[in-house]
Structure 1
């Protein structure tokens, strides 16, 4: 979804490990960041269809900045990498994962963590690497947030290094295209139901169900997946 890609990129800018360009419109997406579109009401979205599939998100992520303000650039780099390596070593036991990416999430591993870009932290002689810490959404959003906070606080600091949470909790969903058939069935059921109200002399013409699966956040824990369908009830 173009809007979600853009907003997620604005929120998590600078986190991605350099990689080949990804086509966000291609099928077979892995786990993606969900960004809610809000108007006047919380989680409202003006152009979202009425019929779709509502389900709980798969995981919760929060951005973490690994930084150092040591005077020497190489020292800053070593301290940031040492903290990242310590975080990776603790992640499995803590039930969390380090990921990166502006849209589709990419695992940060011991093989690629040194590829994370080091950027200026806004002060002289200060560098940082941005990652996201992800935890499965198994209960409340508050519980997930507490687990993420506890993990970030528990990673040992090295030298003049620091690890700070940045931004709000954000939901993720794995492979949204897997829900296409379920969404189409919901649209068909709704269309048949409404056509039946008009009587047996009416039928439905449906468009847009071949479009891309899109999504938005609809509560603190839930996402709404939908297709850009439109249908018209016509005389037979």
Structure 2
């Protein structure tokens, strides 16, 4: 997880274009949401290659809306920020983290929480801040979601302010480009294996291993990282 990752995730869908990492010689990505990407990839995309690296996602995230429908705008803003601060105060002890971002995740902290935009929540006198809460994926997705739900319910409300989840659980992955060498090694091993079946008079030509790292979700907890390789077995 590009996700990361918000790993978003947001989890259900059909075949689509995969998520993509930066080029190999560019700075590595941080944590990305698995199902959020520059090309709007979705879960269970079907056209990925056979060979790649399957691994458990790093974290799970839930989308949140912290909102207020107090009539006065200044009051709405104050109530939203008070709830956000209460969430930040409890996050570390609960083993979670508040984050923002539609692709690469950025931590929400006491230094930047007031920079989050407040959007309309459907009425002129209702405002909300959209963010996510993240937890390390150490076990099942169900356990992760229960932990996130418990955290959300424990955050105290202020005035007419509310905090609610607004989406399905998503997965994240940290810096997908770090797995490039492992992915290419798997491709090379696979290519050699099949070339050997044709005997010593055949070799393999490989292309695409210098392409971008892609990823997609393949189960409730796992992601599949790959490069757009192609190989051809040819006579020497």
Distance, in Å, in 2 between the alignment partners of 1:235 and 1:203 is: 6
Q: Which runs of 5 or more structure 1 residues have no equivalent in the other structure?
A: 12-22
Q: Retained in 2: the 8 A contact 1:8–1:103?
A: no
Structure 2 match to 1:76: 76
Pair 1:227-2:233 in alignment: no
* C-alpha separation in 2, matches of 1:160 and 1:67: 8
For structure 2, which runs of at least 5 residues remain unmatched after alignment? 11-20
Confirm or deny: 8 A CA contact 1:63 1:133 kept in the other structure: yes
List aligned pairs for 1:83-102, cutoff 5 A: 83-102=83-102
**What root-mean-square deviation, in Å, do the aligned CA atoms of Structure 1 and Structure 2 show?**
2.2
1:120 aligns with 2:115: no
* SS of equivalent residue, structure 1 residue 162: strand
5 Å-filtered alignment, 1:1-236, equals 26-35=26-35, 37=41, 43-236=43-236
Distance between the aligned counterparts of 1:93 and 1:8, measured in 2? 22
Aligned mates of 1:94, 1:50 — CA distance in 2: 39
Q: Which is richer in helix?
A: 1
CA contact (8 A) 1:27 1:177 kept: no
**Partner Cα distance (2:135, 2:151) in 1:** 10
- Partner of 1:133, secondary structure, is strand
Asked if structure 1 preserves the Cα contact closer than 8 Å seen for 2:22 and 2:28, the reply is no
Change (3 A) 1:132 1:73: same
Q: How far apart, in 1, do the equivalents of 2:163 and 2:123 lie?
A: 16
Taking structure 2 as the reference length, the TM-score comes to 0.87
CA distance in 2, matches of 1:203, 1:27: 34
Quote how far apart the aligned CAs of 1:35 are.
1.0
Distance across 2 between alignment mates of 1:174 and 1:44: 20
Distance in 2 separating the partners of 1:231 and 1:27:
28
What is the deviation of 1:24?
Answer: 5.7
How many residues get paired? 218
Deviation (angstroms), 1:123: 2.0
For the residue of structure 1 that corresponds to 2:178, the secondary structure is: helix
